[in-house]
Amino acid sequence: MRVTQSMLSQNMLRNLSSSYNNMGKLQEQLNTGKKVNRPSDNPVVVMKGMGYGMQVNKVEQYQKNMGEVNNWLDSSDDALDGVGQVLHRMKELATNAANTGTMTETDRKAIGTEMNQLREHLRDVANTKVGDKHIFSGSMTDQPLFNKETGLFEDGDSFSKHVEIEVFDGINLRVSTDVSKMFKEIDDMFGEVEGMIATGEGFSGLITSIDSKLDSVLSKRADIGARSNRAELMHNRLEMQEGAAKKQRSQNEDVDYEKTITDLITSESIHRATLSVGARIMQPSLMDFLR
């Protein structure tokens, strides 16, 4: 086959174009830090990258859910700690009121006034909210446990149904604590105090009831603590899942800078050699042969 000057020139230009394209792709990879910047670069890598990206996003959403779980549990524990403080103070006042021989009418009125304030505080605690959700109202998170308009604690199946938050595929953690009955019983105890103060009797039985409710509060807090421990384990698991998913995505998409820089330097050297050879090929003319 006869090789003409035109064929040599066309081959040289085609090789130069390929060399430019290769260097352009390597420079783009260094600029973006990604192996592929459009689906046509490598469809397989792009599809895998989408899958890894979805996994990372899913784990990040579960981590946000874990933040809500911790808010619920921490707020519930803090609120029940407040209930415990109310009961301890109530016990102190009941013990003082039981000493009928040393208590004056003024003292009893003062105790009654403080008891009323403790009762109001208890009702406020029963309506504790996280964001816009009442955490002690079961599945009825939009309604307070204590209705200030009726002066009554709400009751019903909805107020004992649990609230759960998804923290992993197919794994839900219970964040609500069923204390509606306990709050109502404590509030009823406060309702009996007024008559006791008037007669000075019945405080011994009240103290026994307070101790029983303190045990209930401790039991509920222990349950919250157990769920908090599980939430911590799930948090650690999610961190491991996030690290694994991001590592897989990085291995699939991110460039190896050292290798890419080496490839670019090599491509530049080859490109210069191609230009040098091309200059020699294009240089000869008819006058050069006649010399």
Residue 121: what pLDDT? 96
Identify whether residues 24 and 137 lie together within a single domain. Answer: no
pLDDT along the chain (291 residues), means of 10: 60 66 67 67 70 84 94 96 96 85 80 93 96 92 92 83 92 94 94 82 87 96 96 93 80 69 71 66 55 52
Phi, psi of 174 (to 5 degrees): -75, 130
Task: Determine, yes or no, domain membership for 44.
Answer: no
Q: Give the containing element (helix H, strand E) for 174.
A: strand 171-174
Number of domains in the chain: 2
Nearest to 56 by CA among 245, 256, 243: 245
Residue 290: what pLDDT? 52
Identify whether residues 80 and 213 lie together within a single domain. Answer: yes
pLDDT tens per residue, range 23-68: 667 666 666 677 676 665 667 676 777 777 788 889 899 999 999 9
Identify whether residues 83 and 148 lie together within a single domain. Answer: yes
Identify whether residues 166 and 267 lie together within a single domain. Answer: no
Residue 279: what pLDDT? 64
Residue 128: what pLDDT? 96
What global pTM score does this model have?
0.75
Identify whether residues 160 and 97 lie together within a single domain. Answer: yes
Task: Determine, yes or no, domain membership for 46.
Answer: no
Residue 37: what pLDDT? 66
